[in-house]
Amino acid sequence: MYISTAVISVHEAELQEMLARFRRNNERDNITGMLLYSGEHYVQLIEGEEAALRKLYAKIEKDYLHTNIIKLADGQISHRLFKDWSMGFKGVTEAALTTLPGYINPASPVFLNQLPEPEESASSVLQQFVRNNMMCP
C-alpha cells in the first residue's frame, strides 16, 4: 500500500481509460486491490503474488502521473481484502482522504515523523474507508 502526490490532474475520460487498462493487466496477473484518487493524491493497496506485486510496484514507481511515492505497508497477508476487484476505484475529495483514520498529509515536512504505530494496519484503514464510503465495487 502506498500514497503518492499527483503530478497532473487526470480528466475523467483519461481516468476511465487508465482504469480499464489497469483492470485488464491486473486480471491477467491475478492482482487485486483498491485505488483512491483525489486529484491531488493517490492511495492504492495491491494484493497478489509477491513476484507480480514487485513487478507492478516497480512500474508504479516509474509512472509519470505521480511523485513522492511513500510505501505505507508491505508484506504477507492471510487473505485478500479486495479479492473480487481487479482494481476497485473511488474518486474522492481531498477532504475525504483526511477522514482516513491516522491520515497525515504526505506533503507535510514532518510526514515521516508523524506516521502512526503499526497497531492499526494501513490495509485495515483502507478497508474501513471503503466500507464507509462505497456501496458496491
Residue 68 contacts residue 8 (beta carbons within 8 Å) = no
Residue 69 backbone dihedrals phi, psi, to 5 degrees: -75, 125
Give the residues of the chain that fall short of pLDDT 50. 111-112, 114-120, 134-137
- What's 48's DSSP letter? S
Q: What is the pLDDT of residues 112-127, one digit of tens each?
A: 454 444 444 555 656 6
pLDDT at 112: 46
Strands 32-37 and 88-91: parallel
Q: What is the pTM for the complete model shown?
A: 0.68
Q: According to DSSP H, which parts of the chain are helical?
A: 12-29, 50-62, 94-97, 111-114, 122-133
The pLDDT of residue 101: 55
CATH of domain 2-133: 3.30.70.100
Q: Where are the domains of the chain?
A: 2-133
Torsion of CA 66, 45, 39, 55, to 10 degrees: 30
Residue 128 confidence (pLDDT):
61
**Per-state percent for the chain, helix, strand, coil, to nearest 5:** 35, 20, 40
